[in-house]
Structure 1
Amino acid sequence: MKRRLMARFLTVPLLVLGSGAHAVKLTVFAASSLTDAFTEIGREFDRRTGNRTTFQFAGSQTLRMQLEQGAQADVYASASDAQFTPLVGHLLTARQVFARNTLSVIVPRGSAVKSLADLTRPGLRIVIASPAVPVGAYTRQMLEAVDRAGTYGRDYAARFLKNVVSEEVNVRQVALKVSLGEADAAVVYSSDLTPSLKERVQAVALPGRFNQLAAYPVGVTTSARSGPQAQAFVAFLLSADGQRTLRKWGFRPAR
């Protein structure tokens, strides 16, 4: 009996060591808008797998440039195909859409700006992302849709852009300008209206016919240090639990 008990106790540290021996360190490059959702997903993924996942959040165009310049990452999650698809086949192994998003116009709480028409008032300070940033490209597509409709005058986009005082390199910086009172309005993703941000800003109605649907692709890099574990992270994003967390943070389903 004493020998059996001793054997059982001795196997415990070996089992613990064994579970950690296969853990790997993963580096995930992800669009800024994914910061909250991926931080939560990463914690749960690591808890289940024993891996150590670290994230680098930035504008998708910045992350793409870093990958093209040789930066080491295992997974890349972009906010648009424009910054993702050109890398498939030489820096990325494949493409899978794991989430979708829409645009939202935000203003400080209590603002007199109530509609898209108000955004062209002279002297209004608007902040958007630069054209290379996915949300910046979607913003300009939204403005083109408004112009085509003619609902607010055919020169709406020109009058809107005349009020732009800053173009940022990622969507979180765009949202920050409004929350700090440095801008009167901004265009961000719907997912950027996090609980903490909603304490300081409110959304202006954006008719569905003008809004844009953003697809978020993800893929494993060809230089991934552990392809199977990187694939496991992608699979977790697409799993029911991963999709539930993404929905919690304001993203739309992948399908």
Structure 2
Amino acid sequence: MTGRLLTGLFLPALLLSGGAQAAALTVFAASSLTDAFTEIGRDFDRQTGNRTTFQFAGSQTLRTQLENGARADVFASASDTQFTPLVGKVVAARQVFARNTLTVIVPRGSARVRTLADLTRPGLRIVIAAPGVPAGEYTRQLLAAVDRAGTYGQDYAARFMKNVVSEEPNVRQVALKVQLGEADAAVVYTSDVTPALKARVQAVALPSRFAALTPYPVGVTLDSRSAPQARAFVAYLLSPDGQRTLRKWGFRAAR
């Protein structure tokens, strides 16, 4: 039996086993999940009859909204830093459904940046995510790792940061700066280099020793009014179909 058929049989059965009816679901999700979750939501709703809507933003913004009483059924974060403090208070549990890694993007055709070393060239305009944003956290961890390694000389991080002209509230806005020609380089997730963006930018791969795989946790909220359907959505993310769609949009396997 194929993974698609298994998923098609499993999700309705999961809903029916709890006596649940189709429901309207609200999913808070990191902005880097926009394309993948839009497709996943459409497929999930077609199979289950649910009506899933998404609120995409930086994980830190979504966490703050949830802590201040915003209602959602599912929270999918791009970082444990923004997710783990909510476990047992806002979300019931944590499951990793995907992983991601950083890359550098530059305008298509540009020859100014070919390696990490080029990012410290004087006058280069770099855009990164702000502190607290998962992509911003991971960018700073990357810089610290490069400094520790000493591969690109002393004070690499300081020289890199001198070239930073903007720190954005979510990673999609980081990518947009390069697309609009407002930056010479930016640090984003590999999943942000979507088919549409590839027409305007090119990726500069990071050395594997610095490009750590970062987990994406998800959980059902404690105050969800449609908990069985919310759990079914999480199950779909981990199903063969859900994982296939996530891979299609540049994410790595959950395990």
Query: Would you say the 8 A contact 1:92–1:221 is kept in 2?
Result: yes
Query: What pairs with 1:121-132 in structure 2 (closer than 5 Å)?
Result: 121-132=121-132
Structure 1 position 105 matched with structure 2 position 104? yes
Deviation at 1:211, TM superposition (A): 1.0
- 1:83-130 per-residue CA deviation (whole Å, 9 max, x = no partner) reads 000000011100000000000100001112111111111111000001
Query: Would you say the 8 A contact 1:125–1:185 is kept in 2?
Result: yes
Across the two proteins, how many residue pairs are aligned to each other?
A: 236
Structure 1 position 247 matched with structure 2 position 244? no
- 1:54-76 per-residue CA deviation (whole Å, 9 max, x = no partner) reads 00000000000000000010000
Structure 1 segments, 4+ long, off by >3 Å, are none
Distance 1:134 1:105 in 2: 16
Query: What pairs with 1:75-86 in structure 2 (closer than 5 Å)?
Result: 75-86=74-85
Query: What pairs with 1:7-26 in structure 2 (closer than 5 Å)?
Result: 22-26=21-25
Query: What pairs with 1:26-175 in structure 2 (closer than 5 Å)?
Result: 26-112=25-111, 113-175=113-175
Highest Rg: 1 or 2?
Answer: 1
Aligned residue type for 1:206: L
The alignment partner of 2:43 has SS state of helix
Distance 1:225 1:166 in 2: 40
Deviation at 1:133, TM superposition (A): 0.2
What is the TM-score when the length of structure 1 is the normalising length?
Answer: 0.91
Percent identity between the two aligned chains: 81
The equivalent of 1:197 in structure 2 is 197
Aligned residue type for 1:216: Y
Distance 2:181 2:75 in 1: 33
The alignment partner of 2:178 has SS state of helix
Deviation at 1:22, TM superposition (A): 2.4
The alignment partner of 1:237 has SS state of helix
Q: CA RMSD in A?
A: 1.1
Query: Would you say the 8 A contact 1:77–1:218 is kept in 2?
Result: yes
The alignment partner of 1:131 has SS state of coil
Query: Would you say the 8 A contact 1:148–1:154 is kept in 2?
Result: no
What is the TM-score when the length of structure 2 is the normalising length?
Answer: 0.91
Deviation at 1:38, TM superposition (A): 0.2
Aligned residue type for 1:163: N
Aligned residue type for 1:60: S
Aligned residue type for 1:130: A
Deviation at 1:205, TM superposition (A): 2.7
Distance 1:205 1:78 in 2: 24
The alignment partner of 1:99 has SS state of strand
Deviation at 1:131, TM superposition (A): 1.2
Distance 1:219 1:204 in 2: 33
Distance 2:87 2:115 in 1: 40
- 1:142-190 per-residue CA deviation (whole Å, 9 max, x = no partner) reads 0011111111112110000000000000000000000110000000000
The equivalent of 1:225 in structure 2 is 225
Distance 1:22 1:140 in 2: 45
